[in-house]
Amino acid sequence: MVYLSGISLAILPREDRSKLIALLSKLRDQGTVIAFDSNYRPALWESADSAREWYQKIYQLTSLALVTNDDESDLWGDVTIEDTQARLAGDGVEEIIIKAGSTGCYYQHTGQFSQPQHIPADLVEHVVDTTSAGDSFNAGFLAGYLQGKSPETCCQMGHRLAGTVIQHKGAIIPEGATRPVTDSF
């Protein structure tokens, strides 16, 4: 598996983005799963058009998309979760996870023509800082994914880790806070 985000693309010069796309294409042809989190940050891009151009290239190689509803809406103008799912499925993304904050996430495996599944997140009563919530979700999800767990279990693992992280200040929290969660993985 290769995992990257929109930030990975944004910080590269254009010629290096092209090299990255070529390498990812070769890796995908060899059976490597390409996982992509859009993580759209407008300030890192020269324009929204440029971001859309490069995201489009990545999505066409992506096996597993871990996107955030707000980012997709900001960049693509998607109004609903279904808009995002349809667009990503049209690009050939096989597995789509759309993170929707405190309401949970939506999972769809397009290759099996399954209906999107909503996987709710547990309520977190004491939210301190949502910095790194999406990254934490991705880490929990991918830990389960790489162990061959069901998509629902992977999503629940992502929710548990993100729910722990947002109860602390900053993106890097004490290991002792996440240890009980990650030990259960």
State phi, psi for 164 to the nearest 5 degrees.
-75, -45
How far does CA 48 lie from the centroid of its chain?
19
**Cβ proximity of 45 and 56 under 8 Å:** no
* Residues paired with residue 67 on neighbouring β-strands, in sequence order: 98
* Residues paired with residue 108 on neighbouring β-strands, in sequence order: 96
Q: What is the DSSP letter of 122?
A: P
Q: Considering only CA atoms, which of 185, 182, 165, 181 is closest in space to residue 173?
A: 165
**Cβ proximity of 24 and 2 under 8 Å:** yes
How far does CA 17 lie from the centroid of its chain?
19
Residues designated as active site: 135
